[in-house]
Chain A
């Protein structure tokens, strides 16, 4: 057996190895999110369109000398031109101004309704899913919350809308309240389903054994793990709210004239497309679809950003 001799050549000085090279740079959660969004191409495309749409919603109406309600019957049904960039409608109102005025109304309704859906849906769904199957009291809480959800699903939503219109004056706020009252139940059931499955994970058990409060477990451990589903549902809730407003306009309960929303404009134009006035459906329809596309693309990107497994 040959003799093994320890000698200096087997070693190298510690300072010549850079241990720090494998570590990630120190960044705050906010920086992390921003850099990740910038890395996701689809999110950038979505964000770009969103910025463009919001820009014109804010500044679009003031770029043209016309107003959203000013009628001019001599200029009715004009095709897009230098004077009227998006043409005019049957009362000679400028479509450019009306489209961007409608953007304010539709986006306000969509975002506000989605916000309330999110708030109520995540809270109720989280509590319900977490409490179900825990003990007798938990079952009762889950059962009561889910029956409320079923009842709200069951009552005809139009009746609720009409009732609110009677109690309050018709307008954007009433529409937002009506959509929120009935809208959150879908989100609540989806979050509940997710939480029912997620709460079986070891980390929840560990947190429980360490004495973490129920509220903290729901808020810090369960809800963040449902972000993927929440974002998908949210990108679906915003269009649903915009379409619901369009449907209410369709049956005469939506935004009242002379105000416009994309929904009312599209509905006004459904009949005249065959007679050749394509621009009256095209521009509001295009804006609805572009907005949906932008929210969805941005949501898809965001979903990857919030997923910790995608970090390098």
Chain B
């Protein structure tokens, strides 16, 4: 019953996001044919507008869009004239998703590891060294890190391909560029909350009962300390899977990231709506999974009062 209700709310949330985006989008001045307006006659422009129903009143356009949306038809891109938004997403999303998941896994594994090591060796050399690494990771923006990675690892040494997409070798540099900053943030969150947990009475108790160091850290430490990381990873997962504009642009990756920005500048209304709905669908699902995993990690947590 609870799950069913949550699903209903998830659809409602997506609908609200879609509607608000629709309103904001129409509120911004501009027109998808602005760049064509000089070389096309007024008559042709009128025909073009009519083809995409842009001549109708906005409420009518809204109802028409929502009707199509129910059948999961996201319309046709105005910019490309023939490609459907569904096919744009179908082509770009898997590429972005592979890259995003890879980056997330790298960030999680190394971030958690570094954070835990730093907490265990609090105020010792390893703590300082890993936090230094984390601070450097946060301090360098990805759009500055990426050109340097390309220059040193691809152009100068030729170990890795410069850009584009194909084999797994192509994914290495963008994965590093994407993972660096979340990795550093995860490491810092983990260190902070692990330090808090390691000071708790139950850790001292478990330690004095002679439990091994490994199971003390894994069973009693990590499980209680990982919550802030989980909260952080939810939205991160959504935005990584859904694609990132800057990295895909720099590495010439045929993902979906560039459509988020390009469509807004071109006023390509169907693509703006399609990418927004795609992103928010992934988002509400990951945030729901985060809420569920709170309970799996700490069974005492109640997110809903009727759960017991």
Contacts and interface: CB of A to CB of B under 8 A. Distances in A.
Contacts of A153: 235, 238, 280, 283, 287
B128 to A, nearest CB: 8
Contacts of A246: 141, 143
B21 A186 contact: no
A159 interface: yes
Interface of A: 42, 132-136, 138-139, 142-143, 146-147, 150-151, 153-156, 158-160, 162-163, 166, 185-186, 189-190, 192-194, 196-197, 200, 228-229, 231-233, 235-236, 239, 243, 246-247, 250-251, 266, 270, 273, 281, 285, 288-290, 292-293, 296-297, 300, 303, 307, 309
Contacts of B183: none
Contacts of A297: 135
Contacts of B147: 270, 273
17 contacts: A132-B302, A147-B9, A151-B20, A154-B17, A154-B283, A155-B20, A156-B21, A158-B261, A159-B264, A162-B28, A162-B264, A163-B28, A197-B298, A229-B228, A235-B188, A236-B185, A289-B140
B281 to A, nearest CB: 9
Given A147-B12, A228-B195, 11 more contacts: A132-B302, A133-B307, A151-B13, A153-B287, A158-B260, A159-B24, A229-B192, A236-B188, A246-B143, A270-B147, A289-B139
Contacts of A138: 305
A160 B302 CA distance: 34
A190 B25 contact: no
B157 interface: no
Contacts of B302: 132-133
A173 B74 CA distance: 36
A200 B231 CA distance: 18
Nearest to A162: B28
B202 interface: no
Interface of B: 9, 12-14, 16-17, 20-21, 24-25, 27-29, 128, 131, 134-136, 138-141, 143-144, 147, 185, 188-189, 192-193, 195-196, 199, 227-228, 230-232, 234-235, 238, 246, 260-261, 264-265, 272, 275-276, 279-280, 283-284, 287, 290, 294, 298, 300-307
A305 to B, nearest CB: 13
Given A147-B13, A228-B196, A189 B231 contact: yes
A236 B264 contact: no
A150 B303 contact: no
B34 to A, nearest CB: 14
B135 A154 contact: no
Contacts of B232: 186, 190
A270 B284 CA distance: 36
A151 B287 CA distance: 12
**Could you say which of B17, B265, B276, B306 has the most chain A C-beta atoms within 10 Å of its C-beta?**
B17
B231 A192 contact: yes
B192 A156 contact: no
Q: Which 8 A-B pairs have the closest CB atoms?
A: A133-B302, A154-B280, A292-B139, A193-B231, A154-B17, A289-B139, A296-B135, A190-B231
B235 A193 contact: no
A145 to B, nearest CB: 13
A296 B139 contact: yes
Nearest to A150: B13
Given A132-B304, A193-B228, A155 B139 contact: no
Nearest to B188: A232
Contact of B138 (A134, A196, A292): A292
